[in-house]
Structure formats: C-alpha cells, structure tokens
Amino acid sequence: MLNCFFMRENSLTFLSVIAIALLVILQAVWVHQLIQRDKERFEMELKQTLQSVVSFSLSKEVSGNLNELSFELTPINPNEIPSNAIVKGSFDTKEYQSGKNLGNFLVGVFAEDLLNENKIPLEPMDSIFSKEFRHYDEIAAYGMRIQKRDSVLREIYGGEKPQSILKHTLGGVTVKIPIGKTNTYMYTAHVVFKPTIFTQRLRSLAVLSAIAVILISLVLLNQLKQFRKKTNEQEEHKKAVRGIIHDLKSPLAYIFTMLDSFENVENDEIRKTKYITGKVRVKHLSEKIEILLTTLKSNKNNLHIELKTYNITSRSKEIIDELKVIYRTKNIRYTIQPEKDVIIKADQVYFEGCLRNLLDNAVKYGSNDVVIDVSVILKDNKLYLSITDNGKGISENDQKKIFREFYCSNTDSTLKNHGIGLAFSKQIVQAHHGKLLLESALGQGSKFTIILPQ
C-alpha cells in the first residue's frame, strides 16, 4: 500500500511540475504575443506618422520655392509632345485613385527638382516628427536620411548617443518612403525603441502573474508535503493499532485457558456458569480481533458486512450492564425505548462494535451520575437509533473534526483517547449504507443517531 502511495505521490509531483512548467510557458507565450502585437501597432503608427511628416514637409518646401519654379498646366495629346520637350510626369484626370490628386502630383514633380539640387532639408521633418509622434519619448535613438540611390545626400540623428546605438543594434523599425516621381530618391528612417517600450504596459501584469505562479507552486508543494506527512502518520498509526490488536490475542488466550481451568475444578454451579459466560465473551472478543486484523491488513480497508438478525434492545441492555461493571465508580441510569425486543438486520460483529463504542463514550465522558436514553424506531424501512447522554457536550469546532481518524479533543486530557472509535464507528455505519449524525452543545450533552436501511 505504501509503495502504491509513493507511486501516486511521485506521479502527482511529476504532473504538478508539468502543470507549473505549462503555466510558465503559456504565460511567456502570452506575453510574447502581446509584445508582438504592441510592436506591430507601434510600427504601423510610426509609418503613418512619417508618411504624413514627409508629405507635409515636401509640400511646404515646394510652396516656399514656387518663385524659382516655372510651370504651365496645358492639356496635351501625348502624340503631340515635341521630341525635345522635358517631361517630368503626367496626371490623368479621367481616373480617380485614393491618394492621387493634382496637388500631390505637383509636389512630387517639383520636389524632384529640389532634390536634384539637394534643397530638401531634414531638420523640419525631424522637428515635426518629434511633435507629432505620440510615442516619441519612448524612442532610444533614430536616424533619418535622404538618399539618391545608394548615395546619402542628407542625414540627421536623434536620441542619446544615437550613432552608437544604431551601429550596434540590429533590431528596430526601418521605414522607407519614395520621394519625387522617378523613384530615384528615398527617405529612410530607422528607429530603435527603448528596451522596455513593448513591455512596460505588461510589467505589472507579468510580475503579478509570476508571483501567482510561484505562490501556486509553493502552496501545491506544501500540500504535497503535508499530504505525505499525514499519510506517513496514518500509516504509523495503523501499524501501531495492528500491533496493539494483535498483541491482545495472547493475553485473551491465557484468560480463556485460565477460565477453562477454573470451570473444570469448580463444583459450585453458579460460579461455573460465570466461568462459562466469561469464556464465551473472551471467545467472542477473540473472533472480533481476528476480523479487525483481517480488515486492517486489507489494502482497501473495506469492511465485509454480513447482514444477520440482531436484537438491538437486548444487546444494548447487556452492553450497558457490562459498562456498569467497568465503570463501578459511576452511577449509571438508562432507559431503552421501546422496552420490547427490536430485531434489525446488521453485521453482528461490526455493528455491535459501533453500538458499544457510542455507549462507552456516553459513560466515559459523562459525570459521575450518567443518564443514557436509547431510542429505537423502525420507520419507512429505516432504523433510527438514537443514544442521548447528559455529558459535557461537544463544541461546534470539535463536531466538525470528531469523526476524523486519530483526532483527539483536548476537552479532557485526563481521559485516554486515541481518536479511533468514532472514526471507525462512522466507517461501520457507512459500510451498512447508513448515516451517523451528531447533535450536541457544550454543557447540554450529546445525541448520536444511527440511520440504517432495513
């Protein structure tokens, strides 16, 4: 049984580690996806902002140099264009396209002239970009340049030590925007965001998630540790109980032998009858011990119930009479209702053990003047057996734990209590497919009720 437990525990530990690892991996994947999504949104906003900045700056530069530019808008037939004419572009008004208008066309045409003369500065673009891009403060470094094919005409940098950062950083976002009408010139911007830009919004959430995973792991490991400790304690208790029960067999055998010897040499019939009764009780107890040992050796600890006729009224009287002998210093009074014999179906060995334990507790934990009321009712194919005492009662806190195995209340430390009786009694009742209920209050005694199907 212990090997099976450790196998289950090792499996549980392994599954727990796998679950924790999956939590960490899923969290990492989730954070990575959010960062990637956040990064894509930044890139889109950056491209849109730079597109607007470049278009606006080119328009402004062209409008500021109109005096140096001469042009005439004349509808022409392509077949009538002179061979020595300089054609910088054409604008077809027959077809409308988004982003295509005469203003943009003219800006592109005349920007080409300014680019040829290298008259498009980057400083205005940089200034507008710093004001318009709402995530500008989250940029570590950036560089802007205007290129004519592979040649750099102008360039400008921003941020702290931008050239060093841009030189040693492979990451970042690069935006390329063609300018002019001949695809000769290109505006290029390379932006490197600060390391925390994509994670700062998730920092608090990631920290909380990590703490939650750690706490869950610690709680789970602690539960496993407590489970192992509790199981080991229960196993040790069971070994001790098995040992104690087994050790009872030898003195009982000795007592049986002595009673048999006394019976054989006794001539007084009354005493001889007492010896015979004592032998019957000892033999009956020995049989119970054998059954208990068989049950305790079972890995499943299942009780094998054999339903037979059981006179609950007469047996209750006999048990209480025996308790009067055991607890001679106490004044024990009792009532059993109804007084006539009530026959039920129950396991004669196990059910009597449950009944004896409840009656014994009523006497043991009671005052010197013990009053016990036993009520037996058969109704709707069910047995209702109630045992009420006038003892000290049980607190609400103890009532929640009293049926746990090896639980001992500290209400009276002078009495020996191993925490086995009530737990075993409940197990017996449940093996009969019944219920064991408790009603109690401090200073008002206790009432245990057994409900069994009949």
C-alpha span between 110 and 89 (Å, rounded): 10
Tell me what percent of the residues of the chain surpass a pLDDT of 70.
Answer: 72
C-alpha span between 132 and 278 (Å, rounded): 105
Q: What is the pLDDT of residues 29-42, one digit of tens each?
A: 776 777 677 778 88
C-alpha span between 287 and 276 (Å, rounded): 17
- Total-model pTM: 0.45
Q: How many CA atoms lie within 13 A of 223 on its CB side?
A: 9
As a whole number, the mean pLDDT across the chain is 79
Q: Which CATH superfamily is domain 305-453 in?
A: Histidine kinase-like ATPase, C-terminal domain (3.30.565.10)
> Which 3 state secondary structure label does DSSP give 365?
coil
Q: What is the pLDDT of residues 310-328, one digit of tens each?
A: 999 999 999 998 888 778 8
Q: What pLDDT, on the 0 to 100 scale, is given for residue 439?
A: 94
Phi, psi (deg, nearest 5) at residue 97: -130, 145
Phi, psi (deg, nearest 5) at residue 55: -60, -45
Q: Where are the domains of the chain?
A: 12-68+98-193, 203-247, 305-453
Where do the H-state alpha helices sit in 327-443? Answer: 348-364, 396-399, 421-431
How many beta carbons lie within 10 A of that of residue 430, not counting itself?
Answer: 12
**Which residues, in sequence order, are bridge partners of residue 372?**
334, 389
Q: What pLDDT, on the 0 to 100 scale, is given for residue 205?
A: 65
**How many helices and strands, by DSSP H and E, does the chain display?**
11, 11
Within the chain, which residues score under 50 in pLDDT? Answer: 1-6, 413-416
Q: What pLDDT, on the 0 to 100 scale, is given for residue 48?
A: 92
